[in-house]
Amino acid sequence: MLDPTLLRSRLAETAARLKQTRGFELDVAAVEALEGERKRLATETQDLQNLRNTRSKAIGQAKAKGEDVAPLMAEVAGIGDKLKANEQALGEVQCKLAGIALGIPNLPHETVPLGRDEHDNQEITRWGVVRTFDFPVKDHVELGERHGWLDGDAGARLSGARFTVLRGQLAHLHRALAQFMLDLHTAEHGYLECNVPVLVNADSMQGTGQLPKFEDDLFATQVGESRRYLVPTAEVPLTNLVRDTILDADALPERFAAHTLCFRAEAGSYGRDVRGMIRQHQFEKIEMVQIARPSESYAQLEELVGHAEKVLQLLGLPYRKVLLCTGDMGFGAAKTYDLEVWLPSQNTYREISSCSNFEDFQARRLQARWRNPETGKPELVHTLNGSGLAVGRTLIAVMENYQNADGSITVPEALRPYLRGLERLV
């Protein structure tokens, strides 16, 4: 959530910035009315509490003198009833304000370019040489159909559209990619490997911003009164590890990494990338999360992006780094870089990693704090996350960029130790 101060003392300015950068229309009149009611009720409630305390003290004094306290006790009872009604009304107003706040996106960092959609994103760098083929290029589906390695029909029979079964050497390559990425981030980049639940509660989803706004994009389960959500990314459980905690300054930055299944309903994406594995309901990803001191979070964002880039570089996959514009960023992000890998069959770059700094947007929801040694007080941390990488999309990129004329796939050197020295999928 945004800092409540912005909605209380800088409402018009904040609304203007949200409209300019995010195209988000904040209902200023509704917020002003609720805030006015909150202030009135808060003042009345405090006055009633003071009055009750004064009258209660007077009762004690009257009793000590042997005086009749019945009138005073009746007055205190009436104050108590009024106080209870005020507290309930105040809670309802605060709940409405919180509901509005939960639906407001983060404000972009000043370095984020203004824009409406992906066409306004800024390319920062390109890495690698795009391969020139002397034979007709196959896409990953054609390559995967060899020996039945990639089977969308089986996935559809088992679960429905946008599910896939991998077999044989291709399944092994997929597993090798995940292991390679996790080993790299833990051994060389300093991340703590975590094995986390992929079924989480609503508090966890709300903490990282998936709820309430994106409920239609989630898969949910209901057992009795218990509702749980399948994670769309390991960002959710990893970031929630610091929920309701106060971290020591010396512990920062915290770096977590996990390999998990991820589940997305892909609401509103019907008809997009229906062929093959590019857009699936179930996929695997290596997620990186960093918990940072606010003064260091943007340096850590650059570091985080570099960790994701290193995977692509070691695999020899051409890619480009893109700075997202204000209109293409995620709901909770203050600044985001996307890494887009080259796919020969599409003759274009496609997203394979998204790395974001959320500043204190998630931390405020999570009440994730650190004790600032300069003030001695708990303050909100900054949270960051990024894909390091999406395993399925990396598999696609390896298949297409390393394909041979006979349909076989050369194994990148970095992966060969994970496939018992195998040099080619044949």
Residues 6-62: tens digit of each pLDDT: 999 999 999 999 999 999 999 999 999 999 999 999 999 999 999 988 888 888 888
CB atoms within 10 A of CB 173: 23
pLDDT at 268: 57
Annotated active-site residue 351? The verdict is yes
* CA atoms within 13 A of residue 73's CA, in its CB half-sphere: 7
Please tell me which residue in 297, 354, 356, 387 is annotated as part of the active site. Answer: 354
245 DSSP β-pair partners: 368
Tokens of 330: 């995620």
Q: Which of 264, 364, 365, 369 is flagged as catalytic? A: 264
| Contact predicate 160/176, CB 8 Å | no
Task: State yes or no: is 227 an active-site residue.
Answer: no
Q: Which of 243, 279, 293, 320 is catalytic?
A: 279
73-107: pLDDT as tens digits: 888 889 889 999 999 999 999 999 999 999 999 99
How far is 130 from 54, CA to CA, in rounded Å?
80
Q: Which of 146, 297, 393, 400 is catalytic?
A: 393
Q: Would residue 254 be called left, alpha or beta, if left means φ above 0 and alpha means ψ between -120 and 50 degrees?
A: beta
Residue 275 is predicted with a pLDDT of 84
Positions in the chain short of pLDDT 50: none
For residues 297-328, one letter each, b for 16 or more C-beta atoms within 10 angstroms of the residue's C-beta and e for the rest, the string is: bbebbebbbebbbbbbeebebbbbbbbbbbbb
Q: Is 264 a catalytic residue?
A: yes
How high is the pLDDT of residue 29?
97
Task: Choose, from 35, 44, 145, 351, the residue flagged as catalytic.
Answer: 351
Query: What global pTM score does this model have?
Result: 0.93
Residue labelled with tokens 């994670």: 231
Predicted pLDDT of residue 270: 59
Q: How many CB atoms lie within 10 A of CB 140?
A: 26
Distance CA(181)–CA(141), nearest Å, equals: 23
393 is annotated as an active-site residue: yes
| The predicted structure's pLDDT at residue 415 | 98
